[in-house]
Amino acid sequence: QPNAMGGREVGGISSLLPAHRKLADPEARMEVADFWNVVQLPSEPGMTATQMIDALESGQLKAIWIICTNPLVSLPNLNRVESALKKAKFVIVQDISENA
């Protein structure tokens, strides 16, 4: 992973707010919502990577944006992950280099 720490610092992890603030903390959610100029943030975490694969398989999730990781390498059961990704209507893959 090119920068897992950076993801945690800016709120790119579904169970954490930026700067390792706890999602369950109402005051932290309010501070981040104010900074991001939104009315409120959900108190429940978003999906984990494996939950997103489940949701792709079931059709609950239609699109996925993959940033600086390869789920075919990092997640268990390559064939299942590949099959789930093929079911997505839209897939974005963003990496640090053109031919990563």
Q: Which tens digit of pLDDT belongs to each residue from 14-40? A: 888 998 899 999 999 999 999 999 999
Nearest in space to 42 (alpha carbons), one of 30, 51, 54, 34:
30
**Residue 98 φ/ψ, nearest 5 degrees:** -60, -35
The H or E element spanning position 65 is strand 63-67
Burial class (CB in 10 A: 0-12, 13-18, 19+), 7: middle
What's the pLDDT score for residue 7?
74
Spatial separation of the C-alpha atoms in residues 51 and 49, rounded to whole Å: 5
Which residues of the chain register pLDDT less than 50? none
